[in-house]
Amino acid sequence: MLVYLFLSVCFYGFSQKSPKPVYYYDGNGDQIAKEEYLNKSSRYKSLDDRYIALAFEKDTCFIALLKKRKTIGKLSALQMKNMFSHLNVDNSSSRPKFSIIQYHPGRDDCNNGNYKSIGIAYNIYHRGYLKELKTFFNHNMYWIHKKDETIKFHRVKYINWRLDKNQCIEKLFFEYHYGCNSFVIVNNLNGNYISILGESSGKTVIEMAKEINDL
């Protein structure tokens, strides 16, 4: 069973459960020492160098895995077709240059389902931030969520949440459960994308929107 934990909780949980050994792996799947794991997952690193810590409990051990928070990649033509089909985007001539997908992974320790602006200017749900983004970035925004019957996804009227049917978006970009929310920006013309795993503010979205223009 996959257990998502923040790093500060992760090792506490390991130490409390049982004497099972813990094995540490970097973002490439190579085994590393605990000290290197802790150093790489430090939250004080820049976004380009930062990792998210994931924890897996197996019968005989714990697996501690790092995933890079920021990924720059490229979708194949088939992946692009499947993504647009999933998003119900049919006419290629009417698409803006970019698609932004905000992904909600379901309830977790970081996210209790209270997804609203609460007055913070660069909260990802804030109307002002969403309007600002539209002024300089030619995009469509998609709000995609994993099935979670404990969260009422349609209580914010101006956000059109869509269920990630068949886990299409999850499989393309968000392999594991990353706390709070994640997002990806896709260039609809060439398939280049930037994804950010885990909680991010609107400012991070704006930074990545400016960066992907050069890809």
Residue 109 confidence (pLDDT)? 79
Q: Which residue has the higher pLDDT, 39 or 186?
A: 186
Are residues 198 and 180 in contact, defined by beta-carbon separation less than 8 angstroms?
A: yes
Q: Which residue has the higher pLDDT, 19 or 135?
A: 135
Cβ neighbours of residue 101 closer than 8 Å, sequence gap 6 or more = 87, 142, 144, 169, 173, 183, 184, 185, 186
Residue 79 confidence (pLDDT)? 96
Task: State the pLDDT confidence band at 1, using cuts at 50, 70 and 90.
Answer: very low
User: For residue range 154-186, what is the model confidence (pLDDT) as tens digits?
Assistant: 777 788 999 999 999 999 999 999 988 999 999
Whether 209 shows a pLDDT value over 90: the answer reads yes
- Give the integer Cα–Cα distance in Å for 150 and 161: 15
Residue 213 confidence (pLDDT)? 87
- Give the integer Cα–Cα distance in Å for 104 and 164: 10
Extract the tokens encoding 41: 């997952």
Residue 91 confidence (pLDDT)? 63
Winning range, highest mean pLDDT, from 19-28, 52-61, 155-164, 193-202: 193-202
Q: Which of 185, 184, 167 is nearest to 176 (CA)?
A: 167
Instruction: State the average pLDDT over residues 47-53.
Output: 91
Residue 89 confidence (pLDDT)? 80
User: For residue range 75-133, what is the model confidence (pLDDT) as tens digits?
Assistant: 999 999 999 999 988 767 678 999 999 999 988 877 766 666 556 678 898 889 999 99
With a pLDDT cut of 90, the percent of the chain lying above it is 56
Task: State the pLDDT confidence band at 7, using cuts at 50, 70 and 90.
Answer: very low
Report the run of H or E that residue 169 belongs to, with start and end: helix 168-173
- Give the integer Cα–Cα distance in Å for 144 and 80: 16
Residue 16 confidence (pLDDT)? 54
What is this structure's pTM? 0.85
Instruction: State the average pLDDT over residues 190-195.
Output: 97
